[in-house]
Structures are given as C-alpha cells and as structure tokens.
Amino acid sequence: MEPLIETISRPWPWYVAGPLIGLVVPLMLVVGNRALGVSSSFRHVCAACFPAKIPFLRYNWKAEIWNLLFVLGIVLGGFLVVQVVGHTSMVDISKQTIADLQRMGVSYNSGLLPADIFSIGGLMSARGLLFIVVGGFFVGFGTRYAGGCTSGHAISGLSNLQWPSLIAVIGFFAGGLFVTHVVFPLIF
C-alpha cells in the first residue's frame, strides 16, 4: 500500500499522465459512445433539481446519469486522495509567479490558493467580488457559449478532430493570456 500512496502523492511526468488521459477519450467513445466532459453535468443537475418549463432544461437528463456519476467520482476521488495522502501546505508554482503576485499586492505564503483572493474576506472586497463573482459568471457563460469547457474541447474535441474545438482552445489560451497580462495587472 505504501508504494501506491507514494506513486499517487507525487506529480506524474507528462509522458505518463498525458497518454493516460489521451487513451480515456477513445476508450469512452468505443465502449460507451460518450464524450469526455464535465461542464454539461451542471445542466443535468439543474434539469434534475429544478424541473421547470425552461426549454433548455426540458430533456431526458436521466439518459446522461453516467455524466453525473463521472463528476461524482472526480469529487470523491479528490476527497479520498486528500484524506489518504494529504496535501502540501503550498502549491508548487514558480518563484517568479509568487513574486509577480506579491508585486501586485497579493500575498501568497501558504495554502492552496492566495487567501487575499480566495477567502471570505477576499470575497467581500470589491476586488474579490469582481474576480470571483464576475469572473465566475464569465467562465460559466463562456463555457456555455463555447459548447463546453476547456478540458472537454482540448481533450475530447481536439482528439476527435473537431474544428470548433480547435477554435475554442485557441480562444481559451488567447483569453487567458489577455487576462493574465492585461486585465489582472489592472485589477491588482
């Protein structure tokens, strides 16, 4: 059991994790005729929990129950790993990123995320509301508008050679670069 915990607790190299993720996509298509994706599960939850006369939520969500179980497995798997393996007090990111955050007034000394932004106190500030609430709205809207999330397009869509997924992934990267280098410095 100890070697398994040791293997799970450290990062896997890209040449192992990447092909494993890449093999899941065709396996899901061949075995179950399903596409890997997570963002559609929110629609399924809304359709199940809030039955209404909204056309977008009127469909047979029970036919997609596998997707809800898949997301539940992700959540439970993450919870179990943290309980069994634990986690470090700080995410391993570059010293340059920490210096850039500190230069913008965001302290990042411990924890999984900067507490200046991702905490109740951070949320109650104007900057936190903009960053989390408005940013969360844009992520949700963009996911719906693009017809899927970054992982769905980048993993499933590109592996299925879907042209819209290539455009979406380019847009995700361009948007991320724009926010990182233009918007983020303006906010902080």
Tell me the C-alpha distance between 145 and 32, whole Å. 26
Residue pLDDT tens, the chain, 188 long: 778 777 777 778 889 988 888 888 888 888 888 877 788 888 888 888 887 778 888 888 888 888 899 899 999 998 887 887 776 555 677 888 888 888 888 887 766 778 777 788 878 888 778 878 888 888 888 888 888 888 788 888 887 788 999 998 999 899 989 988 898 888 77
pTM exceeds 0.95: no
Following DSSP, what letter does each residue of the chain receive, concatenated? -HHHHHHHHSPPPHHHHHHHHHHHHHHHHHHHS----STHHHHHHHHHHS--S-GGG-S-GGGGHHHHHHHHHHHHHHHHHHHHH---SB----HHHHHHHHHTT---SSBSS-TTTSSHHHHTSHHHIIIIIIHHHHHHHHHHHTTS-HHIIIIIIHHTT-HHHHHHHHHHHHHHHHIIIIIHHHH-
Q: Domain ranges in the chain?
A: 1-87, 119-188
